[in-house]
Amino acid sequence: MDVIAKETDEQTESQHQDIESVVTAMNEMSAAASEVAGFAGEAAENAQMAQDGIRFTQDTLTSALDGVGALAGDMDEPAPR
């Protein structure tokens, strides 16, 4: 009977250690998932900022091209005498 009790105790302790390992692994995976989600949010914000910067640059270049086109048109006209 003592042998059965000892084996049961050892198996219970082994299961307890296994459960602790699983709990630790799950907590670490949860923390990693949260960190990845945070990085994804930051990446989305940075992408939006880059897109806004590109739009601003496009608008600026369009205005500059319009100005150069207008200036070129003015230069094609004869000067008043």
Chunk the chain into consecutive blocks of 10 residues (it has 81) and report each block's average pLDDT, rounded to whole numbers.
Answer: 91 97 98 98 98 98 95 77 70
Q: Left if phi > 0, otherwise alpha if psi is -120 to 50, otherwise beta: which for 80?
A: beta
Say if pTM beats, i.e. exceeds, 0.75: no
Two tokens, residue 36: 């990845």
Q: Left if phi > 0, otherwise alpha if psi is -120 to 50, otherwise beta: which for 46?
A: alpha
Distance of CA 56 to CAs 17, 48, 60, 73, Å?
59, 12, 6, 26
The predicted pLDDT at position 7 comes to 94
The predicted pLDDT at position 79 comes to 66
